[in-house]
Amino acid sequence: MNNQPVYISAPSIKHANIKISNDDVINKVYENFRGDKSEWRKIKTGISYVLKYCNSQSRFFGLEGNKSPIDYSIDVANDVCNSNGISPDKIDLLIYGGIYREYFEPATSMEIASKLGIEKVTAFDVLDACAGLMHLFRLPVL
């Protein structure tokens, strides 16, 4: 039996600083759309449907400086360790939950562990988020 202390922490969240509305997302897509109006109506309806079921009125856009999405995950992991008074090398289970995927194999969580200096860890990704709707409803790609 293992008598090591168990640390369970509430998750931490980091995101880009530029906040845009769902309407802004649709307008950005429209700015880059090349097609006729009947095609646009289908695309706008599909995007609106997905955004509605994400149950959020805003998105976060862009990255700070030279940061990649995985750098935000490193920041989160460090925040969680600091708030719980532990060093990353004490972590033995790392779960990455997100939309972005730095790698398909090995898991993005393994890259996070490596960048945190964790040499021995069980790590896995939980992915899909908003893209899950596309799998569920099989929206056509136009």
pLDDT in tens, 94-105: 888 777 777 667
Fold of 64-142: Peroxisomal Thiolase; Chain A, domain 1 (3.40.47)
Tell me the percentage of the chain whose pLDDT exceeds 90. 22
CB atoms within 10 A of CB 36: 8
Give the Cα separation of 108 and 93 in Å (integer): 13
Q: Report which DSSP code applies to 94.
A: E
Global confidence as pTM: 0.62
* pLDDT for residue 142: 46
Q: Where are the domains of the chain?
A: 18-62, 64-142
Q: Mean pLDDT throughout 114-141?
A: 70
pLDDT in tens, 33-72: 998 888 999 999 989 988 887 777 888 777 777 887 788 8
Helix, coil or strand: residue 90: helix
The answer to which of 4-13, 26-35, 84-93 has the lowest mean pLDDT is: 4-13
As a whole number, the mean pLDDT across the chain is 80
Of residues 102 and 89, more confidently modeled? 89
What is the phi/psi pair of residue 96, to 5°? -100, 120
* pLDDT for residue 7: 65
Q: Give me the residues paired with residue 126 across strands.
A: 97
Which H or E run includes 97? strand 93-98
CB atoms within 10 A of CB 15: 12
